[in-house]
Amino acid sequence: MDTVLVLDFGSQLAHLIARRIRDLGVYSEIVPFNTTKANIQAINPVGIVLSGGPSSVYDEGVPLPLPEFWDYVEEKKIPLLGLCYGHHLIGQHFKGKVVPHKEKEFGKATITLKQQKTIFQSLDKEEIVWMSHGDQVEELPEGYEIFASTETCPIAAMGNIQKKVYSFQFHAEVNHTVNGRKMFENFLFGICEAKPTWKIENWVETAISQIQETVQDKQVILGLSGGVDSSVVAMLLKQAIGERVHLIFVNNGVLRKGEVAQVCDWFENKFHFENFHMVDAEDLFLERLKGISDPEEKRKIIGHTFIEVFEAKALDLEKTYPNIDYLAQGTIYPDRVESQAGSGGKSSSKIKSHHNLALPDDMKLKILEPLRDLYKDEVRELGRELGLPAGLIERHPFPGPGLAVRCIGDITKERLDILREADAIVIEEIKQAGLYNEVWQAFAVYLPVKSVGVMGDFRTFENVCAVRIVESIDAMTANFAKLDWNVLERISTRIINEVRGFNRVVYDISNKPPSTIEFE
Ligand code: XMP
Domain count, the chain: 3
State the pTM of this model: 0.83
Pocket of ligand 1 (CB under 6 A): 299, 351, 354-355, 397, 399-401, 441, 475, 512, 516-518
Residues 349 and 428 in one domain: no
Euclidean distance between CA atoms 238 and 220, whole angstroms:
10
Average pLDDT, the chain: 92
Range of the domain at 102: 3-191
* CATH classification at residue 89: 3.40.50.880
Per-residue pLDDT at 362: 65
Per-residue pLDDT at 10: 87
CB 256 within 8 Å of CB 416: no
Residues 389 and 450 in one domain: no
Cα of 425 vs centre of ligand 1, distance in Å, is 21
Residues 88 and 236 in one domain: no
Per-residue pLDDT at 132: 82
Considering 338, 362, 393, which residue would you say is the last residue of a domain? 393
Residue nearest to atom 21 of ligand 1 (CA): 399
CB 442 within 8 Å of CB 480: no
Per-residue pLDDT at 353: 41
Residue nearest to atom 12 of ligand 1 (CA): 399
Residues 122 and 211 in one domain: no
Per-residue pLDDT at 154: 94
84 is catalytic: yes
Atom of ligand 1 nearest to the CA of 519: 2
Residue nearest to atom 7 of ligand 1 (CA): 475
List of the chain residues with pLDDT < 50? 341-355
Per-residue pLDDT at 339: 52
Per-residue pLDDT at 352: 35
Cα of 335 vs centre of ligand 1, distance in Å, is 14
Per-residue pLDDT at 344: 35
Cα of 399 vs centre of ligand 1, distance in Å, is 5
Bond preceding residue 100 cis, omega within 30 of 0 = no
Residues 101 and 212 in one domain: no
Parallel, antiparallel, or unpaired for β 3-8 and 47-50?
parallel
Q: Is residue 24 part of a domain?
A: yes
- Smallest CA-to-CA distance from 82 within 72, 90, 93 is with 90
Per-residue pLDDT at 380: 94
With a CB cutoff of 8 Å and minimum separation 6, the contacts of 370 are 207, 210, 211, 233, 236, 237, 328
CA 265 to chain CA centroid, nearest Å: 27
Parallel, antiparallel, or unpaired for β 157-160 and 219-223?
unpaired
Residue nearest to atom 4 of ligand 1 (CA): 517
171 is catalytic: yes
Q: Which of 171, 192, 259, 421 is catalytic?
A: 171
Per-residue pLDDT at 11: 80
Cα of 287 vs centre of ligand 1, distance in Å, is 23
Type of residue found at 62: V
Pick from 473, 476, 511, 518 the residue to mutate for probing ligand 1's pocket: most ligand atoms within 8 Å of its CB.
518
Residues 263 and 373 in one domain: yes
